[in-house]
Amino acid sequence: MANVVFLWHMHQPYYVNPRTQTAMMPWVRLHSVKGYLDMVSVLAEFPGVRVNFNLTPVLMLQIEELVERKISDLWLDWARKPAAELEEQEKFAILENFFKIHWDNLVKPFPRYWELLNKRGLTFYRDEVQRGLRYFSTQELLDLQVWFNLAWCGYTAERLYPELAALKVKGRNFTEEEKHRVLDIHLEIMRQIPALYRAAEERGQAELTTTPFFHPILPLVYDSAFAERCLPGRRFPQRFHWPEDAAAHLTLAVEQHTRLFGKAPRGLWPSEGSIAPELIPLMQRSGIEYFCSDEENLFNSLRLDPAFRGREVDHLELFQGWRVAYDGAAVNAVFREKPLSDFIGFMAAKNAPAAGAEHLLTHLRHIAGLLPAETGLIPLILDGENAWETFADGGEGFLRALYGGIEADAARLRSCTIEEHFRQHPPQSTLTTLHTGSWISSNFDIWIGEDEENRAWDLLGETRTFLQREMDAGKLAPEIRAAALREIFAAEGSDWFWWYGPDFSTDNDALFDELFRLHLKNVYALCGGIAPAALDVPITSARVTPLYSVPERPISPALAGGSFFDWIGAGQYVAGSEQGAMYRADRIARKVQFGSDARNFFLRVEVRKWEPLVLVVQFHLPAETCVRTSLLERGGVGEFTVERAGAAAQTRGTLVFNGAIELAVPLADLGIAGEAPVAFQVRVLRDGIERECYPESAPIQFTLLGADYSLRHWIV
């Protein structure tokens, strides 16, 4: 029997404009009525299951501030305002923002909501939407105000408040009273969230853990020069070195957690799993008994540790608790199992709930069979909120099947909290040389070392130095000092740096940039100074990075031993290009190339790591068509079948070689002719379970290059 540990991480950045005390984004409220409520409620139905929840202090702070009306919610204000009284800019904001939800699962199933989206336009063009405002009636705007907030309500909210389900059935012609009832329910649910999680811990079903207060990359706050350890040779900002700030984030987190939940936290998920040995004494002094990070950090640590040097490290070393020692201090640690954690977050939703849960349970049972009885530990650590809207049912079926499967298999699997595991099984292994890095690629590349990121660190450092001079001079009253430090701590949060640089992008890059600089400006204002002009200059660049490139010319690659040059001019998609608030590291494919000539559609999938797999190319345009390979083994020749409605299945050949899968599908088999629009996605299956999909949400779309394309675009 093995101990299965779930740690569900719940976090939202500090969206509050510090000058207006307004939450500029609604995600704390909307995740409360969906993921936060659903996760703790479904757990209560499986009394034999134990889990860990990581509730970040900055998330809980915003829930408190919202329900106590200490801050306002901009999107809630847009929704509250009577539709007949909306100003033009408010109508525009509603049409821009009230479709920011999963379309397939939470818009298309509801005819009125889907109708409103189509009227607005599936693609948001600012000028067109501005011109189209006049064509939206008061009732349509009112229905949109209701639908956005109604669709976000999860399955538990519907069960607790049957009027929500009734409104979904009604579908249209909502009243102002009905709208306000939906919004009142949002606030009622938010008010319950802390008590529900506290109750889960008090009845022994959950352990609540914390994170450094404003979710900073704590090693970089302690000393940004630590980044050189895992990113050697990079250009970094001026050194940011404030160990006292790192300690303060931990102290503040423990204080708030104790006040909210009645007991101090024992466990810590360091923001983004970011660790460095110098943090161990800080954790111990703040009362933290253990931390969690990623398996890659463990194995990098073992490579550094003298006790393991020269030894072949078995991967099974992962499945235990560890003691980590540094400079006379020691805390315990757990390191996440990466592939299964990522499966839950990214691919479980692509499969039937029971199949996805059984896939996970099968792997857990297999691992359990390799571990020592009673003491083996399988840590599954992942985002506990963002994934659920990608499930057609909000994840309800998957979680029920997963928790129920664990309860039913007590002979092989036992869920437990991390505190419980360490109490019963103190660590038998010690790390004396801890690697410095995060859970993402075991380094800090996402948050430092790129021009925008470095500029943000430099501005933060200059502001922190200014504040320290003011404090050292004794110029600041205690309340001003505390307020200014709070602004610094907020600006030290990791989320600003997540969106700087080329790694990730969002429609709200400029808003995040503005909020970051506002926190720094406020430090100067609180101290009676004038903020430097540099803080008025945006850090983020206006950039639109295409998700993929389309073919530039026809191609006719030789699949049997062709060369790189055969694919010049092909379209290309790089796996992971659409990463947003969730990061996925472990991918099978590296990139997808595609193109055509007069007779064939060509596809090349470059594989990052080889596993026996089935490749499915799902065409959505010009007609639903499925190209499915046989089980592909490395270095062999397989087959693929073209399945198209109304046509007999066609079997062709496919060649696998040199770490890539290449195939040519006759256009006639796909029902394509001439310069037709084509839309497709590539799915990777293993053991009948969809593991990956490229692209992850919207398909690749392009127009087929016609037979006379080369003649029309002939050049010398």
pLDDT tens for each residue of 582-592: 455 567 778 88
Q: Which residue has the tokens 């009622």?
A: 188
In 85-161, the DSSP E strands lie at none
Distance CA(467)–CA(527), nearest Å, equals 8
Question: Which pLDDT belongs to residue 41?
Answer: 98
What's the pLDDT at 495?
94
Question: Please, what is the average pLDDT of the chain?
Answer: 90
* The predicted structure's pLDDT at residue 573: 87
Ranges of the chain with pLDDT below 50: 581-582, 710-716
Q: What are residue 560's phi and psi, to 5 degrees?
A: -90, 85
CA 249 to CA 316: how far, in whole Å? 34
Helix (H, G, I), strand (E, B) or coil at 578: coil
pLDDT at 487: 97
Residue 397 CB-half CA count within 13 A: 15
The structural domains of the chain, with segments of one domain joined by +, span 12-202, 451-536, 548-712
Contact of 185 with 153, CB cutoff 8 Å: yes
pLDDT of residue 644: 75
Q: Cβ distance 276 to 222 under 8 Å?
A: yes
74: nearest Cα among 506, 515, 491, 388: 515
Best CA proximity match to 211, nearest among 357, 354, 11: 11
Residues 307, 313, 314, 315, CA torsion sign: positive
Nearest partner of 592 among 620, 610, 570, judged by Cα? 570
- Relative to beta strand 290-294, strand 267-268 is parallel
Q: E-assigned strands of 518-674?
A: 548-549, 571-574, 589-596, 600-607, 614-621, 625-629, 637-644, 650-657, 660-666
CA 323, CA 303: separation in Å to the nearest integer?
Answer: 16
Token pair of 337 as six digits = 């199992």
674 SS3 class: coil
Question: For residues 696 and 681, what is the distance between their CA atoms, to the nearest angstrom?
Answer: 8
| CB 496, CB 548: distance < 8 Å | no
Contact predicate 694/680, CB 8 Å: no
pLDDT score, position 715: 38
| Equal fold, 451-536 vs 548-712 | no
**Rounded Cα distance, 245 and 176, in Å:** 47
Q: Which of 110, 109, 172, 108 is nearest to 145 (CA)?
A: 172
Among residues 654, 645, 656, which one has the least CA distance to residue 619?
Answer: 645
Q: Tell me, which fold does domain 451-536 have in CATH?
A: immunoglobulin/albumin-binding domain-like (1.20.1430)
Strands 548-549, 571-574: pairing is antiparallel
**CB of 681 within 8 A of CB of 350?**
no
Please give the helix or strand (H or E) that residue 686 lies within, else none: strand 677-686
Candidate CATH numbers 2.60.40, 3.40.50, 1.20.120, 2.50.20; the one for domain 548-712: 2.60.40
The pLDDT assigned to 714 comes to: 41
